[in-house]
């Protein structure tokens, strides 16, 4: 009986110890939850303070500097408010040194599209076709040849030797453009930055310059450049554009590009020049619209 009584007392001790341990664990767990919520709240407060500091940034009456064309088409010298990448969101005024060509563009006369353009674009197109067709006709039906030897069309660039085509270079490639000969707002569209194309889809006017670099996705809409294509149906005109073709990433696109070249020549709307093959299956070119009177008046005269 004494042994049984001691055993019962011993069991009660371990039960009490287990119960106390469980309570202690539960208390620690609850406290840890409270700490996590406090950290979250603190983070929200800090973020709110940072946002408040951003909103309290010193305001300026200076117009906003635009990377494409200065300020609209006024090309004025302004001060750019740049945000420093610090936790305090400090601000610093930096003088923007504009390209000297901006001053030249500011002195241009306003565009007058009612005037007849003196440039004989038909003669220019004929000269281009006379040069380019003997080259590309050798590749008709030969997809590998037209994609692998495209840089051989560079000899026809001499047709446009009187045009002031200038390079626009970044870290790893060169785009080409013709600066306007008269002054107005310039519209530039870059296709290939992301998946959001709402702005491009809603755009229903002339595009002065387009840069198209979609890493293989360009083959899905090359036919929209054709006469009577979707861009014509929507009233969209492109004056000049840089195109990078990536049949390396999408091999069936090589046939699409082959067909695109011959259709462009048949339409007689665009001329293409400045070919460059950066690697097998990847090459670039620059297109100029010789058909649209406003494009010709603004960039070629």
For the segment 90-126, what is each residue's pLDDT rounded down to a tens digit?
Answer: 445 556 677 777 777 777 878 777 777 678 899 999 9
CA 188 to CA 238: how far, in whole Å? Answer: 10
Position 10 scores a pLDDT of 56
Please, are residues 222 and 256 in contact by the beta-carbon 8 Å criterion?
yes
Position 52 scores a pLDDT of 40
CA 15 to CA 271: how far, in whole Å? Answer: 91
The string of DSSP letters for 93-154 reads: EEE----HHHHHHHTSPBP-TTSPP---HHHHHHHHHHHHHHHHGGGTT-HHHHHHSGGGGG
Write down the mean pLDDT value for the chain: 73
DSSP β-bridge partners for residue 176:
167
| Side-chain-side CA neighbours of residue 185 (13 Å) | 7
Does 290 have pLDDT greater than 90?
yes
Position 93 scores a pLDDT of 58
Average pLDDT over residues 81-88: 38
CA 255 to CA 152: how far, in whole Å? Answer: 18
Please, are residues 150 and 136 in contact by the beta-carbon 8 Å criterion?
no
Cα angle 192, 194, 197 (rounded to 5 degrees) comes to 85
Binning the chain into helix, strand and coil, the percentages to the nearest 5 are 45, 20, 35
CA 73 to CA 285: how far, in whole Å? Answer: 27
Dihedral (C-alpha) 280, 146, 284, 240: value to the nearest 10 degrees?
A: -170
> For the chain, which residues make up each domain, given as ranges?
117-299
Does 80 have pLDDT greater than 70?
no
Position 273 scores a pLDDT of 93
Model pTM above 0.85 = no
Is residue 155 very low, low, confident or very high in pLDDT (cuts 50, 70, 90)?
A: very high
Does 223 have pLDDT greater than 60?
yes
Is residue 88 very low, low, confident or very high in pLDDT (cuts 50, 70, 90)?
A: very low
Position 291 scores a pLDDT of 94
Q: Quick one: angle between helices 121-136 and 253-267, nearest 10?
A: 140
Q: Quick one: what percent of the chain has pLDDT higher than 70? A: 66
Which of 15-24, 47-56, 241-250 has the weakest average pLDDT? 47-56
């Amino acid at each position: 009986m004494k042994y049984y009584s001691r055993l019962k007392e011993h069991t009660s001790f371990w039960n009490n110890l287990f119960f106390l341990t469980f309570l202690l664990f539960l208390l620690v767990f609850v406290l840890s939850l409270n700490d996590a919520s406090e950290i979250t709240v603190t983070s929200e407060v800090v973020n709110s303070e940072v946002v408040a500091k951003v909103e309290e940034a010193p305001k300026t009456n200076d117009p906003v500097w635009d990377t494409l064309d200065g300020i609209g088409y006024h090309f004025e010298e302004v001060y750019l408010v740049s945000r420093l990448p610090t936790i305090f969101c400090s601000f610093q005024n930096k003088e923007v040194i504009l390209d000297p060509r901006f001053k030249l563009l500011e002195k241009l006369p306003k565009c007058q599209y009612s005037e007849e353009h003196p440039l004989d674009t038909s003669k220019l197109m004929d000269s281009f076709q006379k040069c380019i067709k003997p080259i590309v006709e050798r590749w008709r039906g030969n997809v590998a040849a037209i994609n692998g030897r495209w840089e051989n069309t560079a000899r026809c660039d001499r047709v446009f030797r009187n045009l002031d085509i200038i390079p626009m270079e970044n870290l790893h490639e060169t785009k080409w453009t013709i600066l306007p000969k008269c002054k107005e707002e310039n519209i530039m569209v870059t296709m290939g930055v992301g998946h959001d194309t709402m702005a491009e889809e809603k755009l229903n006017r002339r595009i002065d310059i387009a840069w198209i670099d979609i890493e293989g996705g360009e083959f899905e809409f090359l036919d929209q450049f054709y006469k009577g294509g979707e861009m014509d149906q929507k009233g969209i005109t492109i004056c000049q554009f840089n195109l990078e073709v990536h049949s390396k990433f999408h091999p069936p696109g090589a046939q699409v590009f082959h067909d695109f070249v011959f259709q462009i020549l048949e339409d007689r709307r665009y001329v293409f020049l400045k070919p460059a093959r950066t690697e097998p299956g990847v090459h670039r070119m620059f297109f100029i619209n010789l058909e649209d009177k406003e494009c010709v008046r603004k960039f070629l005269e």
